[in-house]
Amino acid sequence: MKKKKNYYLKIFTALLLLVNPNIHIVDILPDFIAYFLIFSVISEAAGLAPHFEQAKDTCKKLAILCLFKIPASFIIVSVNSNNISDKNLIPTFAIVFTFLELILGYAFIFHLSEGLFYLGQRTDATALISPFRTKKSAKENAASGTLSERRHTPEALRNASLLFLFVKGFASFLPELLLLTRKQEYVGDLSGQMSLSKLYPYALLLIATITLAIGIYWLVMARAYMKAVQKEGKFLNSLLALAGDTLIAKKEKHELCSAYVLGFTLIAIASLFSMNFMPLFCFALFLLLGAVWIRIEKPLRGLTRIFGALSLTSSALLSILIKEFDANYGYHRLLKDEEAIRAYQPCVLVSVLTAILFTAFLVCILIALNRTVKGAFGTKDSGEKKETRYKKTLFNMNLAFFILAALSVICRSIYVYLQGQVIFIPSSAASVGTYSHQWEFWPLIMTVIAIPFIIYTFYYMGVLKEEAKLCLDEEEF
């Protein structure tokens, strides 16, 4: 909490990310990044004053919920069927996620507002509960002939935040409801039936404009409130004074524990995307986020983030290339098509590169987990020999995690290669059915590896979370 400017910068960056409306099912500036930024700031206040702990927890849930939008969107848009019921998955998806966000968002705004008001009422940080000023527009100033300013109360900002939350939430699915009116293709359907889905582009444009306008209004108010609090400069000191030294020390230990627990949770979630039908870039994304929250020294942290970002980029590129290849060629007419063979080669090359980058990334995570076990966690057993033996057990479990994760990624790369071998079979062999089916069992092999990996990762990350909590409990005594 020493670098005051960084915290205000993080919050303002998060607000900018949240202002943008969601177009269709695409979030141009991902909200999960904003919520993780806010989470990192609120974590500093959590445990020091009432309501901030609840705000932190709901913010974390919001971040993870918005993060799950990415793989969910990928799976939805990957549906290749032209069936109307398949296309209706998009509005259903939007509605479900919207209501979950509204529930968590309301709880977050309520707890955060209550925390700020509580602190302002019981300390000398009066800017938290005092009216703040925003300048009038140039037109209003010219009309009045004075450079007057308008005052807003913190309660007005809270209401504006709730308004923007609900407008942005409903705007993300209201236009999608028009898609449900598309003409169903069944016997006896009226050819002249009117479909409101024709109005979808206009509704989308209108709702996006309204959301953006209210979002900018909310951003101006929030920025003015932040400037008033920052100008007074008493928020952090008042928070620390209210908490006291004992509570601050206890809070720091809980913060360290929470960071480890969140990191292990994200790594466990990442394992779900090791299945062959799940997007591989989501596996990289969750692994990277999990590694970020594990407290490791700078050199290793830098390498982990570099290889994680490269793995994420490479796997996303591979997904795009394969999708583009399927759209342009399809598997039904590729028997020894020279143009198709050349078009598929980049997929194979990128899949090999992805496997190499992932392996390096996983090595960094392995080293990070080993150093975490050695340096951060205690042991359930007493005695030096038992402690050494127990940490060796954890090291072996780390190694098992690395091997299973690497096998999952390498098998995905091999599968891309084998698909190419099947696609480009000789026409004569295809006509008589004599070609090899060596690839048919490969998805089964990938599943046999992925399922134990998922089960094992959830178990092992649970063990590490218990170790972090146990270490915290021992320090408190």
Task: Give pLDDT, residue 245.
Answer: 66
With beta carbons less than 8 A apart as the criterion, state whether 212 and 29 touch. no
Could you read off the pLDDT of 273-290 as tens digits, one per residue?
988 888 899 999 999 999
Strand partners, 46: 49
Q: Which helix (H) or strand (E) holds 460?
A: helix 442-476
Q: pLDDT tens per residue, the chain (477 residues)? A: 444 457 888 899 999 999 988 766 566 778 888 998 999 888 888 878 889 989 999 999 999 888 888 887 777 666 544 444 555 677 777 788 889 999 999 999 999 999 999 999 988 889 999 999 887 555 555 555 454 567 899 999 999 999 999 999 888 877 777 766 655 544 444 444 445 667 777 888 888 889 999 999 999 999 999 999 988 888 888 888 877 666 766 777 777 788 888 899 999 999 999 888 888 999 999 999 999 888 777 788 899 999 999 999 999 999 889 888 877 776 544 455 677 778 888 999 999 999 999 999 999 999 999 888 876 665 444 556 666 777 788 889 999 999 999 999 999 898 888 877 655 544 444 444 444 445 567 778 888 889 999 999 999 999 888 888 776 554 443
Residue 338 and residue 1: Cα distance in Å, rounded?
61
Is the pTM above the cut of 0.85?
no
Residue 420 and residue 318: Cα distance in Å, rounded?
14
Task: Give pLDDT, residue 1.
Answer: 43
Angle at which helix 298-328 crosses helix 280-292, to 10 degrees, equals: 170
Q: Where are the domains of the chain?
A: 1-184+196-243, 247-477
* DSSP-assigned letter for residue 332: G
Structure tokens at 194: 């009117």
Q: Provide CB contacts within 8 A for 232, sequence distance 6+.
A: 125, 126, 127
Distance between first and last Cα of the chain: 26
Could you read off the pLDDT of 80-99 as tens digits, one per residue?
444 445 556 777 777 888 89
Residue 144 and residue 249: Cα distance in Å, rounded?
54
With beta carbons less than 8 A apart as the criterion, state whether 402 and 365 touch. yes
Angle at which helix 338-375 crosses helix 298-328, to 10 degrees, equals: 160
What 3-state DSSP class applies to 361? helix
Task: Give pLDDT, residue 107.
Answer: 95
Q: Which helix (H) or strand (E) holds 15?
A: helix 4-19
User: What is the longest distance spanned by two Cα atoms in the chain?
Assistant: 90
With beta carbons less than 8 A apart as the criterion, state whether 248 and 269 touch. no
Residue 359 and residue 449: Cα distance in Å, rounded?
16
Residue 440 and residue 415: Cα distance in Å, rounded?
10
With beta carbons less than 8 A apart as the criterion, state whether 318 and 280 touch. yes
Task: Give pLDDT, residue 79.
Answer: 58
